[in-house]
Structure 1
Amino acid sequence: MRHHHEFVSGLSFHVVSMLRLAKAIAGLYPNVNQDLLYAGIILHDIGKVKELSGPVSTTYTLEGNLIGHISIVVEEVGKVAEELGIDSEEVVILKHILLAHHGKGEWGSPKPPLVREAEILHQIDNFDATMVMMDKALRHTKPGEFTERVFGLDNRAFYKPTFE
């Protein structure tokens, strides 16, 4: 598998990084519902626990192949909300945030982001993944040279300046 944050505890690292970015962004934009944004960040990839076989030598499970982490987490949120007797607009919006976190249909989201917090989560998710993939490629590159092409970043090669 070749994805972002593909290292032991990578999922946890990703979520913590996203929460830090969200805290900074929410401080700049007071209309952001921080509770929804933080809940979405914490939950957005939790379905990967069922989608993937484990932390090392990971493969997709049957549920991962047939359903996927987005559908898995939305189903879980629905179950928990029902068990707690919560039937509110907030649950619908939280589900939307989770469904939309990949941003586009061709990237795996059944809906594009249609609320502020969904758009922010999508952008933060993409930014964090991009930085980790780029840093990984640059780590193995000498100053003054280009990285190997990075499939997850539109198959681009990145230049490592000599003045770093």
Structure 2
Amino acid sequence: MKVSLTKGASEGPTKLNAFDNALLEAEIGNVNLIPVSSMLPPDTEVIPMPKLQPGEMTNCVLAHQYSDNPGDEISAVIAFAQAEEMGCVIETTGINKSIKELEDEAKFMAEYMIEKRELEIIDYKSVIQSHTVIDKASVVAALVYHNPKRH
């Protein structure tokens, strides 16, 4: 399976508009996002974000944060740990948390999920999006699935 990591941040006149604008910046604003849980098959390959077709049904793990408090630092993180047998995706968010704190939290959760399955990490990747709120703002980070396996 192929996946992409993407992120975006934006302001908007309403909570929904800020969220939509952040999705547009992340290149996933013109598709129908289908939230899925956090498992990856063993043959997962990370690719650059391709152009998606408008209206496409798109599976993803999505982290998003909103604030309308000027000066807040909002952040969203997506990370995954890959073992030979499978991978695990995590999402976390924060308001006024340091990037290091969020990165450490994400890595801890990903490592824990792999260790709980008695597997060994062979790869780890993460993406974080932060933004200082001016008026109404949203941040997103996502792992987007391409050509998911169906049963």
Return the TM-score normalized by structure 1: 0.26
Decide which structure has greater strand share. Answer: 2
Decide which structure has greater helix share. Answer: 1
Return the TM-score normalized by structure 2: 0.27
- Compare CA radii of gyration and give the structure with the larger one: 1
